[in-house]
């Protein structure tokens, strides 16, 4: 959390950042990887996500305790969309090969719910989709994975 030399660091905000946001770093990374299909792309998205959170932490204090995970996924989704024009070297892992055939919106829905653990209403809100669109993307992603259209 960047502060100028003259501003004291608010220890309570540091504690909130550490206790409520940092513990979800792995989940945010998995979400970012599903979007970018790249180790470098995921790292950049996670780094930028946490920079946004740190810069705006006072804004998130009231919702951090119960909603840090959804805040992080929402910010990561926004960061990804702002960086969408960047090209990242795609990986060659089994996960990459399984997710690559899916549209980004389907990957986002799948990972927001099945990995990040968001409920459908929260996932639709943070991904800025209607509930119906989210469920269509999620069903398509699950069906594709189950039917072998994307092999693990």
Residue 108 located in a structural domain: yes
pLDDT single digits (tens) 66-105:
688 899 999 999 999 998 777 777 777 888 888 989 999 9
What pLDDT does 151 receive? 44
Does the pLDDT of residue 4 top 60, yes or no? Answer: no
Q: Supply the range of the domain harboring residue 82.
A: 11-146
Give the C-alpha distances (Å, rounded to integers) separating 17 from 31, 32, 68, 95, 131.
19, 19, 9, 30, 30
Residue 5 located in a structural domain: no
How many domains are contained in the chain?
A: 1
Tokens found for residue 108: 């986002």
pTM (two decimals): 0.85
Does the pLDDT of residue 149 top 70, yes or no? Answer: no
Does the pLDDT of residue 146 top 80, yes or no? Answer: yes
Residue 1 located in a structural domain: no
Specify the CATH number for the domain of residue 93: 1.20.140.160
Longest Cα–Cα distance of the chain, Å, equals: 59
């Amino acid at each position: 959390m960047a502060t100028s030399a003259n501003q004291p660091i608010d220890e309570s905000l540091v504690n909130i950042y550490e206790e409520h946001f940092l513990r979800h770093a792995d989940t945010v990374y998995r979400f970012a990887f599903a979007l970018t299909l790249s180790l470098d792309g995921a790292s950049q998205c996670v780094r930028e996500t946490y920079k946004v959170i740190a810069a705006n932490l006072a804004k998130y204090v009231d919702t951090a305790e119960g909603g840090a995970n959804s805040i992080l996924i929402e910010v990561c989704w926004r960061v990804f969309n702002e960086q969408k024009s960047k090209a990242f070297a795609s990986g060659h892992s089994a996960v990459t090969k399984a997710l690559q055939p899916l549209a980004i919106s389907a990957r986002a829905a799948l990972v927001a719910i099945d990995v990040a653990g968001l409920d459908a209403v929260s996932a639709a809100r943070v991904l800025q989709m209607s509930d119906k669109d989210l469920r269509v993307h999620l069903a398509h992603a699950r069906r594709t994975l189950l039917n072998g259209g994307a092999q693990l």
